[in-house]
Amino acid sequence: MKFKIALLQLMPGKTLDEQQRIGTEACRKAKEMGADVALFPEMWSNGYYLPQDEKEVTALAVSAGSDFVLSFRDLAKELEMAIGITFLEENDPKPLNSVIFFDRNGNETLHYSKVHTCDFADEKVLSSGEDFYVADLDIGRGKIKIGSMICFDREFPESARILMLKGAEVILAPNACPMEINRLSALRARAYENMLAVATCNYPEGQPDCNGHSTVFDGVAWLRDEEGVRDMCILEAPGEAGVYVAEIDMDMLRKYRESDVMGDKYRHPERYGILTR
């Protein structure tokens, strides 16, 4: 089974209505390109704009049941394509940095809020999420276990490890930062050490503090019937805005996960007590 992921590496507009229009057009293009799921960059509802005034940032937040979010639910159903829509979510005491995945039937499959908020910078005006979640995403030809982490979450090995332990096969990761060699290496490491795919969607060049380079690492470091290692990076977008599609071979990934030694195979959790301190 092949799983086609569209990374919507888009420049944002200036209003919520513009975000909805630009996002809708990009999703339609992703469907034309054969995608099973379309993923937005981080906090698409406002282009990752975070004023530091409490009242101002609260006024920008939208609810999970807002017309903006639900328009992408309806679009997912219309296009018969899953959509991961990101938004600044209404929440008390502070808004959340969230993503909701709607499946090809318009059903909410996964709702995740960023756990590792950047409290050292603009995200100190946000609350953080409570947990990491895994869900079955029905793509019509079968189901894929997906999880999500958002931007700074990638810097903590625990994020991807928890998702792997909960059964995730593919992590879909919205992003908003410069994707340079070290951050890209962190994503590669998360895929390698957990034997899962990691797809990351960033904003393009032109968006402040972003540079494109959305990526997909398919998680398969080598194949037993082939010599040497293989490059797990099956897509690295350029800096320019666009819709970029990569195809993950789920049969190959699942066979690799069954037969290789990474992930959960030889862990010794009884010796990891310090990790919970």
Q: In what order do the strands lie in the sheet with 82-89?
A: 108-113, 96-102, 82-89, 37-39, 2-9, 242-249
Active site residue 193: no
Antiparallel, parallel or unpaired: β 134-138 and 108-113? unpaired
Considering the candidates 31, 42, 89, 123, report the single residue annotated as catalytic.
Answer: 42
Active site residue 114: yes
Give the closest residue to 90 by CA, choosing from 61, 51, 60, 124. Answer: 61
The neighbouring-strand residues paired with 84 are 39, 101
Measured distance CA(223)–CA(229) in Å, rounded: 8
Considering the candidates 27, 31, 89, 114, report the single residue annotated as catalytic.
Answer: 114
Active site residue 78: no
Measured distance CA(146)–CA(171) in Å, rounded: 6
Asked whether the beta carbons of 2 and 254 are under 8 A apart, the reply is no
Helices (H), 129-270: 157-165, 181-194, 250-259
Q: What are phi and psi of 160, to 5 degrees?
A: -70, -35
Considering the candidates 151, 169, 201, 210, report the single residue annotated as catalytic.
Answer: 151
Q: How far apart are the first and last CA of the chain?
A: 41
The residues assigned a catalytic role are 42, 114, 151
